[in-house]
Chains A and B, each alone.
Chain A
Amino acid sequence: MNANTHEHLTYEHLKYARILQIGVIVSFTLLAVGFMIYVLELIPAHVPVSELPRYWSLPVDQYLARTGTPAGWAWLKSIGSADSLNLLGICLLCSVSGLCWLALLPFYIARRDLPYVLITIANIGVLVLAASGLLGAGH
């Protein structure tokens, strides 16, 4: 049962829910499989799991310096390593809402719902900006 009496809201909500659910299932599956590969050491990791206790109590800048781990998107270059594989699942989890907004946008445009077209575009823009790392780093 849907509590909204407006048909267009029902469609909007159901479409969003369907895409969200698919994205969540794929993300969690990737996370679980990636983590098993990581902890069972089925493929090598940039920082071996057995060495992590020496570093995980350090501030992030010192952790990066001592382990030689790159910040930003540089982990994509070593996507074959187990720790990078896990980051892929985490990044997908953080992107699911963006995919939902992209699906929602044509709906708002078709209805000429200008405020929500702008709000949806702004949400996508903020997410892309945050994900890009362009806002500046430095610890």
Chain B
Amino acid sequence: MLASKSLVRWMYLPAAAPYLFLGGCSAVQGGVLPALAWWAWPLLLFIVCFILGIIAVPAGVGGGVLFVPIVGGFFPFHLDFVRGTGLLVALASALAASPALLRIGLAHLRLALPLALLVSVSSIAGAYLGLRLSEAVAQISLGLTVLGIVVLMWGSRKSETPGAAAPDALSAALRMAGVFHDVAGGKDVAWAAQRTALGFFVFLVIGLLAGMFGLGAGWANVPALNLMMGVPLKVAAGSSSLILSMTSSAAWVYINEGAVLPIIAVPSVIGMMLGALIGSRVLKVANAAAIRRLVIGMLLFAGLRALLKGLGY
């Protein structure tokens, strides 16, 4: 009986979505508990994450960096739960993409394994640190970090094939090198990781921020691999996804601390995954530069909102 009543409630969900979006935002912005049924929130979360998933893939960013500032700013959930879910969203997207990337040679295991280890260690520290911050400090720090990402995305160049410079001693010892077949150019491109020690340090910092704010790390992995370590752009993007898929340690911290609520996490993960499937098709036809500008605009808005929320406005 109880189950049949629940089933009937869920059948109304698609029709209720537009109302929920408008009503939900105004209620949250008013700073009071919204007078919406409990089931409206996971539905709204699913819809928002589905849209974010469609946008994230052509924009070349992971789901977590969009999820945390937007859901943290406009939904009634405490930031502790939003950050825990943000890591799961980033992890799930990367896990789903990685098998295909490995099979076509765009994700490189020897490159990813050492970097994933560094990101895992520092993201654990970041997660513990993040869970000890007061909400105001966490929102201000998140806002500043997201605004920093906006600057990084706006200003970063891309180098499709940075060139086959000789590997440094560390990357030679770890054999962090390969041959990438450039389908567009119809040629094999040899590459080797460069400035590896500096790259290792940068990945430690990326992991710390990712764990602290639940942002994932795709926003920083690709520029670090491509521009700093000299990895071809497509291999950098594929290996970034593989690194993300290997770094669930911070998510475990949030799980163990009780900061993962299935009612928030599961619709977010599933919505983002389904959206990303559509997004990968959109990628073939969409104007990627326009979508990237849209994402920068969304992050700017969400970052400012987090900053203002933390400052008490």
Contact = CB atoms under 8 A, between A and B. Distances in A.
Contacts of B10: 39-40
Interface string B23-47: 0000000000110101101100000
Given A39-B42, A135-B128, A24 B95 contact: yes
Contacts of A54: 33
A24 B109 contact: no
Contacts of A130: 120, 124, 248-250, 252-253, 256
The SS class assigned to the B binding surface is helix
Contacts of A59: 78, 80, 135
A28 B266 contact: no
Contacts of B113: 116, 119-120, 123
A112 interface: no
Interface residues of B, number: 77
Contact of A133 (B78, B95, B256): B256
Contacts of B204: none
B96, B132, B173 — most chain A CB neighbours (10 Å): B96
Contact of B105 (A3, A52, A138): A3
B78 A57 contact: yes
B76 A57 contact: yes
Given A20-B102, A93-B88, A93-B92, A60 B250 contact: no
Interface in A1-59: 1-6, 9, 12-14, 16-18, 20-21, 23-24, 27-28, 31-32, 34-35, 38-42, 49-54, 56-59
A86 B266 contact: yes
B262 A38 contact: yes
Nearest to A131: B252
Contacts of B261: 52, 56
B243 to A, nearest CB: 10
A63 B246 contact: no
24 contacts: A1-B181, A3-B181, A3-B235, A13-B102, A28-B92, A34-B262, A34-B266, A40-B6, A41-B6, A50-B38, A52-B263, A56-B261, A59-B80, A60-B131, A63-B80, A93-B88, A93-B248, A94-B252, A97-B246, A126-B117, A130-B248, A130-B250, A131-B249, A135-B253
Interface of A: 1-6, 9, 12-14, 16-18, 20-21, 23-24, 27-28, 31-32, 34-35, 38-42, 49-54, 56-60, 63-64, 69-73, 83, 86-87, 89-91, 93-97, 104, 115-116, 119-120, 122-123, 126-127, 129-131, 133, 135-139
For the complex of A and B, the 3 pairs showing the least CB-CB separation, nearest first, are A3-B105, A86-B262, A130-B249
Interface of B: 2-3, 6-7, 10, 33-34, 36, 38-39, 41-42, 76-78, 80-81, 88, 91-92, 95-96, 98-100, 102-110, 113-114, 116-117, 120-121, 124, 128, 131-132, 135, 173-174, 178-181, 188, 235, 245-246, 248-253, 255-267, 269-270, 273
